Amino acid sequence: MIKKLISIFFAFILIIISVIPSEAATQSTLSSQIDYLLRTEPALNGAIAGVSIRQATNGQLLYDHLGDIRLRPASNMKLLTAAAALSTLGENYSFSTEILTNGIVKKHTLNGNLYLKGKGDPTLLKSNFTSMAEELKRSGIKKVRGDLIGDDTWYDDVRYSIDLPWSDETTYYGAQVSALTASPNKDFDAGSVIINVFPGNKAGYPAKVRITPKTNYVKIINQAITVSAKEKKKITIKREHAKNIITIRGTIPIRSKKIREWIGIWDPTSYALNLFRQSLKTQHIKIVGSTKRGYSPQNATLLSIHHSIPLKQLLIPFLKLSNNGHAEVLIKEMGKVKKGEGSWKRGLEVLRGVLPKFGLTSKTMVLRDGSGISHVDLIPANQISYLLYSIQREKWFPSYFNALPVAGKSEKMIGGSLRKRMKTIQGRVQAKTGTLSTVSTLSGYVETRTGQRLIFSILLNNLLDETQGKRIEDKMVWILANQ
């Protein structure tokens, strides 16, 4: 019996001895492959690469190249914002929009003002305003003997994050942040409109232009011309600074596909009010007074309330499509809910306060916004990879993980910003992309050839061509997937 136990013991020791060198060899191979890539890739000459790779099961750091150096995360900043929002607000949290009045209804007439109070909902569509108007109609209101007033005071009146480049003012990804706003479609790019440009019926005819949603809030100046099929497609769509005048110039060949572009508008509060007034008109509800911005009284009567989709559903367009507006709204909402002020300052205080829960410290970071559009944001790769490790124990992690883009999956709301990348390892990578001028980043989870999960964070800064960064990231993740 003793001899049998001794033989079993030595067999167990042999198994352990055989496994340890194998794991060490695997880690050594992984390190040597990534080291070689970082050393020989021409696009990284003069650039900085922060790389951190961990075991998903225990957080063990498998590879570290400048992992403690603070680098610009670009949209990898959204990984922190999403985790903080889920922890602070909860995955079932929703935004609300209220319709209130300071008057009373008599004989189908509301004698008083009608207030549209926004509380941050970035998912409001034209159809939602129509539903609200229909509800008012069903309540018996046919006329408002007062003003239509938009209340956006749930947040402060600062519309742009501190480091937003002036050149991004008219873009959809740099659109103004307001507590009362509207989106053109279910991508939910709040504070923007979609401009569609089509060829005219014949060469020499003006191009056709369609705006979504239909609104007269913006003025379109169409100077685009339809040209023959042999000529080039060259269209520019620009909005004037501090105005809602959009000019379309250039040429579009006959029978060519439409050109589609999202444009951030000026003053999203008035934009939302314009859409709501249109909806009231279609329901034959007449507003006697003017349309303007203002405050709803504290004792106002609630007539109707609209709730957004829950946060766990909003995370999908937020992370998969890298929606900057959602990130900044979540920052302001955390500030409003936890500190009574819907501002970047208070929201970032909440974010910093949540980080220790995940084993992170903001003392190693510079945090200026929620989206990562700032070139001043700085986070070490090791901190991002540790966040992705530690949040796996949270009950809301499945919603977080599900919202990350999936490599190679062509469906927009599955593959997201990775739908055209890493098709050879399709479905095995779920990660957040990030791009700024001179910056490319990618952080997330990868399933290896043996079925293990690894966590990685790749931050590439000071690139001459940030598009080359994506190619390098894909190579690096491919190495991980083939371990």
Question: Dihedral (C-alpha) 299, 125, 398, 380: value to the nearest 10 degrees?
Answer: -90
Q: What angle do CA 351, 353, 355 make, to 5 degrees?
A: 70
Residue whose token pair is 């700032």: 374
Residue closest to 352 by CA, chosen among 336, 340, 365: 365
Helix axis angle, 77-89 to 344-354, nearest 10°: 80
SS3 content of the chain, % helix, strand, coil (to 5): 35, 25, 35
Instruction: Give per-residue burial for 150-185: e unless 16+ CB within 10 Å, then b.
Output: bbbbbbbeebbbeebeeebbbbbbbbbbbbbbbbbe
Which is catalytic among the residues 322, 362, 417, 457? 322
Residue whose token pair is 């999956």: 409
Q: Are 404 and 415 in contact (CB under 8 A)?
A: no
Integer Cα distance of 248 and 222 in angstroms: 5
Q: Are 324 and 332 in contact (CB under 8 A)?
A: no
Which is catalytic among the residues 75, 87, 308, 362? 75
The number of beta carbons lying within 10 Å of the beta carbon of residue 297 is 14
- Residue 78 annotated among the catalytic residues of the structure: yes
Q: Report CA-CA distances (Å) from 444 to 27, 40, 81, 381, 389.
A: 19, 24, 15, 11, 10
Which is catalytic among the residues 78, 126, 332, 432? 78
Integer Cα distance of 147 and 283 in angstroms: 17
Residue closest to 77 by CA, chosen among 246, 326, 313, 303: 326
Integer Cα distance of 55 and 23 in angstroms: 12
Which residues form the catalytic set?
Answer: 75, 78, 322
